[in-house]
Amino acid sequence: MAEAAKTNWDAIVIGSGIGGMAAAAALSKAGQKVLLLEQYQTLGGLSHSFSIEGFSWDAGIHYLNCVAPEDRERRILDWLSDKPIEFASMGTIYDNLHIGDAAPLSLSRPYAAQARDLKDRFPDESEAIDAWIAALKEGREAVMKVTSTRAMPEFVGTALKWWHSHAVERWCKRTTQEVIDEITDNPELAAAFAAQWFDHGGRPSKASFAIHALITGSYLESGAWYPKGGGGAFADHILPTITKAGGEARADTKVETLLIEDDRVVGVRTAKGEVIGANTVISDIGARETVNTLLPADCGHQDWIDEIRALPHSVAHFSLFVGFEGDIQRAGATRSNHWIYPGGKVDVVWTDAPGAPPPGLFVSFASLKDPGHDPGPSQKYAGEIVAWVDWSVVERWADKEPGARGKDYKAFKARVEDVMFAQFEAYFPELAKLVVFRNLSTPLTTHSITGHHKGAFYGIDTTPERLMSEALQTRTPIPGLFLAGQDVLTPGIPGALWGGVLAAATVDPGLFRQLPG
């Protein structure tokens, strides 16, 4: 470790997702010199954008909640950025549900407007709809109480959860489906309540209702937004805060292991063999990924490691990135997203790809949401078609490197792409005619680009056990090691942002006073 000691960073942050960038920028605001290390060639984690043949897509953003001017997360983002990121509202309608044979159901914000949408479709279910809206509000309150304990000493957190135990039992420890079943026995209404579960990746039968309420309800609170310039805006605006404070953000630098001396984390060794020392190390790569890939074998704390490993992982996905040329609005594209469940059931994951068509599909036209998008003379627009799947569909190629997965993998990908595109075409026939570019990413792509276990880009599944777990605190039992990002609080950009900010404030509690209120 003698070499490491020479490098002298105050903090190393592993992983440049929004959680890692937020942690690094917050510590930079507190005067620390921070080194941010990212294994992939582009910084930004799942918030990064990429371009091919004049089209640009986001790896992991379709819409954002909690970034209205009055939201605290927006003020925190402004504080972390060198220049504030601009966000454009998606308007009143932000999602459309296509469930079974029913006509599309457009969902608007705020709460009263969405209650109206649902009551117009289900006029006999007024009471159930009011109960659902009330449950969303109470569930949000409950989850915020629990997640706020993530950066607190354990005894304080335990006391707070005990104090709010009624709400915790009622909303956090029951699944989305259990709450829905209590409210209605109308299967079509139940499906509409649960349809947006892929916004956090926890199936209705498994997810904590409170997390579903937090994430889907946030759009009703302050709307759906999209960053001008796409997800890459996060890295463009936040990284200068780190570098201007004397820090550095390095892409293409995989951390191979944490270095531990006298039971304390004292630095990292990269895959290229560089040994780098720091007073503090924050990991944004995911809790399971941290214990599975970064900890030396004999580091102890087995109870903590076992608790994290016992928590289930979330779903994986296929993204079909498409490029259009032409007037896509005229052909049926909208700023709002589309959730497509041809079979009418929403608690579904594609387990038999590509033999059968996907039971659920999400369609988004990012270019229409981005006020910075210039379609140019050939009217270029980007869109994404996403299907959520079980990792098992690609597992047989998992031990092979990209490029070495053989002809059968290529054929599998081609079939998945065709089946997904056919489903899209069935719902958007005019738009399908304008597609000039297609590129499929698979759970193996997610795994090789982000390192997420079994392609589970949302990290640990949003079950009640995850929400109540004491193992996901920002402060780990290993001195010098902290966790940031989506596993600490909740999946999604705002949750991962909070995970980063709270990790930084655990390292330097003075930040709690600096955080914009």
Q: Kindly list the residues in this chain that would bind ligand FAD in the complex (CB under 6 A).
A: 14-20, 37-40, 45-47, 60-64, 254-255, 284-285, 289, 317, 319, 386, 450-451, 457-458, 485-486, 491-493, 496
On whether the CB atoms of residues 143 and 210 are closer than 8 A, the answer is yes
- Cα–Cα separations (whole angstroms), residue 253 to 39, 187, 433: 5, 49, 41
Shortest separation between residue 486's beta carbon and ligand FAD, angstroms: 4
On whether the CB atoms of residues 455 and 446 are closer than 8 A, the answer is yes
H/E element holding 363?
A: strand 361-364
Of residues 232 and 326, the one with the C-beta less far from ligand FAD = 232
Q: Which residues contact 267 (CB under 8 A, 6 or more apart)?
A: 1, 4, 7, 12, 258, 259, 275, 276, 277, 278, 281
* Degrees, nearest 5: CA angle 479-484-486: 145
Of residues 128 and 456, the one with the C-beta less far from ligand FAD = 456
Of residues 22 and 118, the one with the C-beta less far from ligand FAD = 22
Of residues 30 and 37, the one with the C-beta less far from ligand FAD = 37
Q: Cα separation of 99 and 105, whole Å?
A: 8
On whether the CB atoms of residues 213 and 171 are closer than 8 A, the answer is yes
- Cα–Cα separations (whole angstroms), residue 194 to 107, 245, 364, 384, 432: 13, 45, 19, 22, 28
Residue 332 φ/ψ, nearest 5 degrees: 115, 0
On whether the CB atoms of residues 409 and 397 are closer than 8 A, the answer is yes
Of residues 42 and 279, the one with the C-beta less far from ligand FAD = 42
Shortest separation between residue 355's beta carbon and ligand FAD, angstroms: 23
Shortest separation between residue 403's beta carbon and ligand FAD, angstroms: 18
Shortest separation between residue 389's beta carbon and ligand FAD, angstroms: 12
Of residues 180 and 386, the one with the C-beta less far from ligand FAD = 386
Shortest separation between residue 407's beta carbon and ligand FAD, angstroms: 27
Shortest separation between residue 391's beta carbon and ligand FAD, angstroms: 14
Q: Cα separation of 507 and 514, whole Å?
A: 14
Shortest separation between residue 182's beta carbon and ligand FAD, angstroms: 28
Of residues 62 and 413, the one with the C-beta less far from ligand FAD = 62
